[in-house]
Structures are given as C-alpha cells and as structure tokens.
C-alpha cells in the first residue's frame, strides 16, 4: 500500500519521517479516546511483548525494600510474579491455584503499603476473566493482553496497562504500554535505557526503531473499532458470541465448561469433553469442518476457542453447529 502518494509503502520509509510520525500520533490518539485516558497517562508502543513488561514494570516501580501486591489467577500472572520477585518483595494477595485456576478469588485485601497492585484481567490459557476491576488503595497495574479493547474500561483508573498487540489489536511485534508518568522516577536503582519508560515517553515511542509495520496495523484496527461504533459495540458482540458458545457447552451432553460461571472469559472459551476417549476425534472432526485452532493450551489440555474481536458471530455459530453434529454422531 502506498502512503499519501509518496511512492513508497510504510515499511520502506524512515521511522523518523513525517508519514510515520502521523501513524504513531493517530494510533496514540485513538488509544487515548477509546480508553478515556488522562493527561498523565502516556501511550507507548514498545517491543519485547507482554512478557518483557513482567520485568519492566517492577524494574521501574519496585524498590528492593519495597513491596508489590499481585493476584495469581493463571499462568500469566504466575510468570509476572516470578519476575517481580527479582526486584523486591512480592505479596500474593490471593491465588486460584488450589483449583487449577478455574475461578477468580473474590475476598482478599490489598495492602496499603504496596507500591502497586498487579492484576491480569483475562487469563488467556485458563479462560478466566476478572469481570470487575478491583478498587485498589494503591496504583493498579494491569496485564490486559487478551481482553484490551474488548469492552469499555475506565482507563484513567490504572497506573500502568500493558498488552501484547497480537491478541486483540494487531500482529505480533508491538506491545501497547500505557504509563502514568507520575509513578516514575521513584526507585533508587539505575535502569538500562531501553528498559526505562522515561526515554520512551520523552521520544514518543521513537527512542529507537519501533516495530513500524505492527504499529501501522494496530492503527488500522483502532480505526476499525471506532468505525464499528467503539468499545460498547465490541462488548455487545463479544457477549453475544460468548453467551452463544457457553450456552451450547452447557446444553451439549458431550462437553463441559471448565471455569466457574461468573468468571468465564468472553475472549477464551475453555471446555472439555466428558468422554476423554473422544478428545482426539473431536479435534480432528472440528478441523475437518473448518474450525481450526480449538485445541486447548498444551499446559491444560481440553479445548479453547479464542474469540477475540476479529472473530465474527458466524465463526462461533459454525463451531456450535460442529459441536451439535459431533454429539449427534456420538450418542
């Protein structure tokens, strides 16, 4: 695709050109609008994935003698906790590890003396979603990799939000990070330049060469979200898709949802088959009927239908029809 009649495409131009600057500026503006951010919240497109944020967050916020609070509701929060422990004290306020991460703990208290409270709003592998953002006495840090832009949120409530682009936003290679500037500059350690949020803020995500193509595709997705009517419309569609699929799982005699009803994710629908000897057969049957990629994550097994913003209702209805037919053939 040629950009503004300059005879070159996005991946052929300099990341310092005014054409690419316009791409970043517009993408940042859409993020600010959609998430209702305030002036102190800076929008960055970084690299290293959400996994890099597991260490970049504590590197920038958590002093050696300080304490951070985390809630553990699945594999991703577990990884975030492991990294934070390299930098300071970590208090895990609650964990659903006792039941293999099939629910979100509800009764816990967040220590007032923590530097921040880290949550994972949607646990992609286990299909568990925090439907309510907890009220926190300390700055909230959220890994929203797998449910950002799936529904409206009050973005200004958060100290840091981060998300790998590849689930709901664009191709892999870009990581959206939103940082409240007021939280920075308080740790005593020195931070390597690339891991310090401040140079990235100062240079508007252009401290070094960013992932230009990935950011451009993120921009197209952000425009699309707005054109469709914004996050309210995304939420309505996502609920419609998830409700239809969970209703079929609950109805179908062969399948069972793995997550407690109130905590079921609208993005990653996890389920298992009640006759385990049919597991491989269903995977093959689904694949042969154009439902690709429903095998559960290797660490939990079963099935998982990831129905991000990009999945239309027709795709979900297709899977439902395949599940019905499989039930009919295996009575």
Interacting residue ranges for ligand PLP, rule: CB under 6 A: 49-51, 76, 120, 124, 143, 145-146, 164, 167
Please state, in angstroms and rounded to a whole number, the distance separating the CA atoms of residues 178 and 189: 22
Q: How far is the CB of 8 from ligand PLP (least distance, A)?
A: 29
* DSSP 8-class letter at 9: B
Q: Which is nearer to ligand PLP, 122 or 322 (CB)?
A: 122
* DSSP 8-class letter at 33: H
Nearest to 145 by CA among 294, 306, 297, 259: 306
Q: Which is nearer to ligand PLP, 73 or 322 (CB)?
A: 73
Task: Give the angle subtended at the CA of 57 by the CAs of 56 and 62, to the nearest 5°.
Answer: 115
Q: Which is nearer to ligand PLP, 41 or 120 (CB)?
A: 120
Q: Which of 42, 143, 147, 196 is catalytic?
A: 143
Q: Which is nearer to ligand PLP, 50 or 225 (CB)?
A: 50
Nearest to 271 by CA among 126, 150, 146, 145: 126
Q: How far is the CB of 173 from ligand PLP (least distance, A)?
A: 9
CA dihedral 121, 123, 124, 126 (to 10 degrees): -150
Q: Which of 42, 151, 167, 241 is catalytic?
A: 167
Q: Which is nearer to ligand PLP, 159 or 164 (CB)?
A: 164
Q: How far is the CB of 120 from ligand PLP (least distance, A)?
A: 5
Q: Which of 76, 147, 196, 263 is catalytic?
A: 76
Please state, in angstroms and rounded to a whole number, the distance separating the CA atoms of residues 112 and 211: 38
Q: How far is the CB of 282 from ligand PLP (least distance, A)?
A: 24
Strand ranges of the sheet holding 140-143, from the earlier edge strand across to the other edge: 41-46, 175-180, 158-164, 140-143, 117-120, 67-72, 89-95
Q: What is the DSSP string of 227-254?
A: HHT-HHHHHHHHHHHHHHHHHHHHH-TT
Q: Which is nearer to ligand PLP, 44 or 50 (CB)?
A: 50
* Rg for the chain, CA atoms, rounded: 21
Q: How far is the CB of 166 from ligand PLP (least distance, A)?
A: 6
Strands 67-72 and 117-120: parallel
Other Cβ atoms within 10 Å of 119 Cβ, number: 24
Q: How far is the CB of 74 from ligand PLP (least distance, A)?
A: 8
3 state SS of 78: helix
Asked if 167 is an active-site residue, the reply is: yes
Active site residues: 76, 143, 167
């Amino acid at each position: 695709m040629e950009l503004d009649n300059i005879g070159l495409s996005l991946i052929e131009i300099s990341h310092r050109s005014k054409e690419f600057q316009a791409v970043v500026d517009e993408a940042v503006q859409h993020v600010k609008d959609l998430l209702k951010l305030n002036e102190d919240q800076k929008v960055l497109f970084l690299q290293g994935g959400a996994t890099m944020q597991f260490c970049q967050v504590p590197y920038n916020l958590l002093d050696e003698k300080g304490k951070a609070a985390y809630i553990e509701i699945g594999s991703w929060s577990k990884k975030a906790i492991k990294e934070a422990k390299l930098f300071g004290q970590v208090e895990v306020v609650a964990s659903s590890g006792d039941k293999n991460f099939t629910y979100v703990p509800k009764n816990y208290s967040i220590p007032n003396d923590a530097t921040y409270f880290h949550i994972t709003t949607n646990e992609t592998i286990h299909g568990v979603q925090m439907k309510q953002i907890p009220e926190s006495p300390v700055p909230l840090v959220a890994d929203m990799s797998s449910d950002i832009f799936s529904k409206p949120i009050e973005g200004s409530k958060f100290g840091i939000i981060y998300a790998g682009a590849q689930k709901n936003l664009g191709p892999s290679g870009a990581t959206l990070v939103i940082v409240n500037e007021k939280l920075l500059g308080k740790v005593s350690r020195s931070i390597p330049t690339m891991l310090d949020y401040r140079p990235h803020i100062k240079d508007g995500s252009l401290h070094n060469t960013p992932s230009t193509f990935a950011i451009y595709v993120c921009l197209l997705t952000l425009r699309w979200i707005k054109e469709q009517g914004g996050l309210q419309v995304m939420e309505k569609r996502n609920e419609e898709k998830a409700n239809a699929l969970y209703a079929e799982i609950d109805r179908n005699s062969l399948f069972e949802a793995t997550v407690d009803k109130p905590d079921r994710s609208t993005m990653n629908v996890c389920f298992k088959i009640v006759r385990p000897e049919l597991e491989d057969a269903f995977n093959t049957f689904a694949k042969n009927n154009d439902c690709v990629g429903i095998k559960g994550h290797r660490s939990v097994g079963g099935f998982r239908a990831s129905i991000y913003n990009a999945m239309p209702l027709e795709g979900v209805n297709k899977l439902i029809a395949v599940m019905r037919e499989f039930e009919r053939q295996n009575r």
